């Protein structure tokens, strides 16, 4: 039998906030490695997810939704996108097919000028009629993308076509990561992110966007892992909201985050969560560093 060659490469996922980039990477990897919420600007850092086939490996790079930065954290998020674009072999530009904005039009135009192998992904297929999809797809039809793929990251419809398309366009290359490694995110970072996801779920307006999570202790024992974490927020009034009446909101955030952690890692977790006020942390270089928002 002829020896088959192995193909591999890095593929960045970019697009406006909230279009479903992280939902898509989770779907492709088959594990929840990137947090998801209905609020824009959920993802803050670039992170990798690994997808394996018999003869190929694709390293997917999730990025924060691109927006005009107003804080140092925003600048870091923007820099994370630039960083993610370095050394890639392919690019997925994601739009929400049910809601294309002028910002999307600009991004799609800008990214279409890149030399990499490029896929324009029309996500949220489940929210549009076939007629509407045709209209939306007609708009960008003449742009120089290598393929145009409608899919639903939520239901999985159309995702196989994307996998087929990407995997057949990866260059010859090595298996960059071991087959059992799904992400480059350390467990502690995944835990901090899950806490932030539950905060995004249970809190409103600017409160969740001002939250940063620090893991203070992460101790693995035989039957359980003990985690102490602090949620930083920017105002005293936010702290009261996060804690909630009789500590109810905080308890809920902690409980749901713990359940997700146990599901992801398969071990028992004991989680203790605190809330602290740290005014202006999103504009403090030192605080950003403490919370892991640094380009590596
Ligand atoms: N109906 C539907 N909803 C989707 C689909 N994909 C994502 N969503 C929802 O869209 C919202 C945003 O999803 P995310 O994956 O967090 O979007 P994102 O592009 O990573 O957002 P940022 O990290 O903020 O840039 C969430 O409420 C998802 O559940 C889809 O295919 N169909
Ligand atoms: Mg995201």
Three-state SS at 56? strand
Q: Rounded distance, CA 209 to CA 234, Å?
A: 10
Three-state SS at 36? coil
CB 274 within 8 A of CB 195: no
CB 241 within 8 A of CB 275: no
> Which residue ranges have their beta carbon within 6 Å of ligand 1?
17-23, 36-38, 40-43, 64-65, 123-124, 126-127, 152-154
Three-state SS at 215? strand
Q: What is the pLDDT of residue 8?
A: 98
CB 204 within 8 A of CB 243: no
CA of 95 from ligand 2 middle (Å) equals: 13
CA of 65 from ligand 2 middle (Å) equals: 7
CB 259 within 8 A of CB 253: no
Q: What is the pLDDT of residue 225?
A: 97
Q: Quote the pTM value.
A: 0.97
Tokens of 44: 């803050």
CA of 1 from ligand 2 middle (Å) equals: 43
> Residue of the nearest CA to atom 16 in ligand 1?
36
Three-state SS at 107? helix
What CATH class is the domain 187-290?
Answer: alpha beta
CB 23 within 8 A of CB 33: no
C-alpha of 141 from chain center? 27
Dihedral angle, C-alpha 113, 116, 117, 119, nearest 10 °: -50
Q: Rounded distance, CA 90 to CA 60, Å?
A: 9
Q: What is the pLDDT of residue 295?
A: 84
Question: CB neighbours of 189 closer than 8 A, spacing ≥ 6?
Answer: 292
Q: What is the pLDDT of residue 68?
A: 87
Q: Give me the residues of the chain with pLDDT under 50, please.
A: 2
Domain ranges in the chain with CATH number 3.40.50.300: 7-167
Q: Rounded distance, CA 250 to CA 229, Å?
A: 12
Atom of ligand 1 nearest to the CA of 17: 25
Question: What ligand has the least distance to the C-alpha of 66?
Answer: 1
Q: What is the pLDDT of residue 62?
A: 98
CA of 28 from ligand 1 middle (Å) equals: 14
Domain ranges in the chain with CATH number 3.30.300.20: 187-290
Single out the residue of 277, 282, 283, 287 nearest to residue 235, CA to CA. 277
Q: What is the pLDDT of residue 4?
A: 76
Q: Which CATH architecture has domain 7-167?
A: 3-Layer(aba) Sandwich (3.40)
């Amino acid at each position: 039998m002829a020896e088959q060659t192995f193909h591999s490469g890095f593929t960045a996922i970019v697009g406006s906030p909230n279009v479903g980039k992280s939902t898509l990477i989770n779907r492709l990897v088959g594990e929840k490695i990137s947090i998801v919420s209905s609020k824009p600007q959920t993802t803050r850092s670039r992170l990798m997810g690994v997808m394996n086939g018999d003869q190929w490996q694709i390293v997917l790079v999730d990025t924060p939704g691109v927006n005009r930065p107003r804080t140092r954290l925003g600048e870091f998020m923007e820099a994370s996108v630039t960083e993610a674009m370095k050394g890639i072999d392919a690019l997925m530009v994601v739009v929400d097919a049910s809601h294309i904005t002028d910002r999307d039009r600009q991004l799609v135009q800008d990214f279409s000028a890149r030399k990499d192998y490029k896929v324009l992904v029309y996500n949220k297929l489940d929210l549009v009629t076939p007629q509407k999809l045709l209209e939306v797809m007609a708009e960008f039809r003449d742009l120089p993308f290598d393929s145009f793929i409608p899919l639903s990251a939520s239901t999985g419809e159309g995702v196989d076509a994307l996998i087929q398309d990407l995997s057949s366009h990866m260059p010859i290359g090595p298996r960059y990561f071991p087959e059992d490694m799904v992400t480059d995110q350390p467990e502690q970072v995944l835990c901090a992110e899950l806490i932030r996801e539950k905060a995004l779920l249970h809190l409103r307006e600017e409160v969740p966007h001002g939250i940063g999570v620090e893991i203070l202790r992460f101790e693995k024992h035989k039957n359980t892992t003990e985690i102490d974490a602090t949620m930083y927020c920017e105002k005293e009034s936010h702290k009261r909201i996060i804690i909630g009446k009789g500590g109810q909101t905080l308890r809920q955030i902690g409980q749901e985050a713990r359940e997700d952690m146990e599901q992801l890692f398969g071990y028992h977790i004991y989680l203790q969560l605190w809330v602290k006020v740290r005014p202006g942390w999103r504009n403090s270089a030192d605080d950003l560093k403490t919370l892991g928002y640094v380009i590596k």
